[in-house]
Amino acid sequence: MLVGVPKEIKNHEYRVGLTPPSVHELVGRGHQVLVQTGAGAEIGLSDEQYTAAGASIVAGAKEIFERADMIVKVKEPQPQECAMLREGQILYTYLHLAPDPEQTAALVKSGAICIAYETITGPGGGLPLLAPMSEVAGRMAIQAGASHLEKSKGGMGLLLGGVPGVAPGHVVIIGAGVVGTNALQMAVGTGARVSVLDKSVDRLRQLDLIYGNRISTLYSNAHAIEEAVLSADLVIGGVLVPGAAAPKLVTRSMVSRMKKGAVVVDVAIDQGGCFETSHATTHADPTFVVDGVVHYCVANMPGAVARTSTFALNNATIGHAVALATKGWRQALREDPHLKNGLNVAQGKVTYAAVAKDLGYDYVPADTLLA
Ligand SMILES: NC(=O)C1=CN([C@@H]2O[C@H](COP(=O)(O)OP(=O)(O)OC[C@H]3O[C@@H](n4cnc5c(N)ncnc54)[C@H](O)[C@@H]3O)[C@@H](O)[C@H]2O)C=CC1
Ligand SMILES: CC(=O)C(=O)O
Ligand SMILES: [Mg+2]
């Protein structure tokens, strides 16, 4: 199969769909790989390294979209990329469709086979192609939050860990999945007081066993969320209902009663965000203020540490990339129910139930297209 890797064009996005070792893996199995010139230049992956791994370097994205049977990317296709997709072409990348009606309409119109990293499941449960980026974003969330608590960044002027004789800050983490537990690990490391909320008591039980009375675990409901965020200095939003728009757990009214100069980091913003006051921002202009509360809502946080993130992402994506290239999408999906869960849009149909429900499309099960 001819596999194409365009350079990412989202704001401050320096990750690449395939690393040179991943190219080597595909080429070794008889596939051809086209990489757009400079695709990895910003993170130290040169055209020469890609060529040495067996890729052909091409000048522009247009040629890649025209020639490739499968496009491998990182972020959701931007409008000009959607316009270049064609019927039957495989798109393998993050999509986050539920909060994005325009992109969904463009992918439906394209007739392409659109497989979303974030809804591919794993034999051991969980979302193994989302997990590495959630590890990165969860860890970064505390870094970003701590930095924006500084006065010059709009925050209240608080050091998360405090100092001897001065109490630490209070970090509230909503959602104790991969983002939440990685944020928790970092927050505990700073010396902050930490509360974590989730709907899963089993998950809270695991965290209690690890951290003991160093943290507070709270069952997530509207009352507990309100009480926690009103006393918080930093709130991390890390909830997920796979494939669906994030539930708005922190209301505008709660935000209006939070401490002035507090910070919220809505990591779940790529699924629409779990604060009613959130909207997506970019690394170039990451924050805005609502009722005195600083909101950090960058939808591609791992793009800031693109070198680490590219390698972590490829560790998780290359296996399915090889299967898709070697078997074609129909056979690869028929043989692997977890990869099949990644199919969101194909041949003009929405094949993921939560996306169809949230955006008002008819849901067409993937199986009906695999015969
Ligand atoms: N902004 C960015 O750059 C990035 C965003 N993300 C996003 O972060 C979000 C979280 O991802 P993961 O941690 O990997 O998901 P996950 O599935 O590991 O964890 C989600 C957690 O939310 C919990 N949850 C669901 N409903 C809840 C509720 N009402 N109250 C409290 N907890 C609730 C679940 O029980 C689960 O433990 C996703 O939307 C993901 O796409 C991930 C990576 C980067
Ligand atoms: C998961 C995601 O949105 C990202 O890595 O940018
Ligand atoms: Mg989007």
pLDDT at 270 over 90: yes
Q: What is the pLDDT of residue 25?
A: 98
Per cent of the chain over pLDDT 70 is: 100
| 270 among known catalytic residues | yes
Point out the ligand nearest to the CA of residue 75: 2
pLDDT at 235 over 90: yes
pLDDT digits (tens, 9 = 90+) for 134-161: 999 999 999 999 999 999 999 999 999 9
**Segment 29-45 mean pLDDT:** 98
Q: What is the pLDDT of residue 349?
A: 98
What are the pocket residues of ligand 1 if the criterion is a CB atom closer than 6 Å to any ligand atom? 118, 127, 130-131, 133-134, 137, 174-180, 197-200, 203, 220, 238-241, 246-247, 249, 267-271, 298-302
Please say whether the beta carbons of 117 and 128 come within 8 A. no
User: Which helix (DSSP H) or strand (DSSP E) does residue 353 occupy?
Assistant: helix 353-359
pLDDT at 6 over 90: yes
The mean predicted confidence, pLDDT, of the chain is: 98
- Using DSSP, state whether 4 is helix, strand or coil: strand
- Dist CA 184 CA 299 (whole Å): 20
Please say whether the beta carbons of 81 and 65 come within 8 A. yes
Measured in Å, residue 320 CA sits from the centre of ligand 1 at 23
149 alpha-carbon distance from chain centroid = 24
Structure tokens at 18: 């395939």
Would the CATH topology of 2-119+306-369 be identical to that of 131-299?
Answer: yes
Domain ranges of the chain: 2-119+306-369, 131-299
Nearest residue to 370 via CA among 343, 352, 362, 361: 343
**Segment 17-46 mean pLDDT:** 98
CA 21 vs CA 53, 69, 278, 309, 318: distances in Å: 7, 20, 38, 15, 10
Residue range 2-119+306-369 in CATH 3.90.120.10: no
- Dist CA 305 CA 282 (whole Å): 14
CATH number at 131-299: 3.40.50.720
- Dist CA 269 CA 149 (whole Å): 20
Q: How do beta strands 287-290 and 293-296 pair? A: antiparallel
Write down the pTM of the prediction.
0.95
Apex CA 311: angle with CA 309 and CA 315, to 5°? Answer: 115
Measured in Å, residue 276 CA sits from the centre of ligand 2 at 20
- Dist CA 361 CA 354 (whole Å): 10
- Burial label for 109, CB within 10 Å (0-12, 13-18, 19+), is middle
pLDDT digits (tens, 9 = 90+) for 172-204: 999 999 999 999 999 999 999 999 999 999 999
Please say whether the beta carbons of 76 and 94 come within 8 A. yes
Q: How confident is the model at residue 78 (pLDDT cuts 50, 70, 90)?
A: very high
pLDDT digits (tens, 9 = 90+) for 313-335: 999 999 999 999 999 999 999 99
pLDDT at 371 over 90: no
- Dist CA 295 CA 154 (whole Å): 10
Structure tokens at 311: 């390698």
Q: Which residues keep their CB under 5 angstroms from ion ligand 3?
A: 100
Measured in Å, residue 98 CA sits from the centre of ligand 3 at 9
Please say whether the beta carbons of 30 and 18 come within 8 A. no
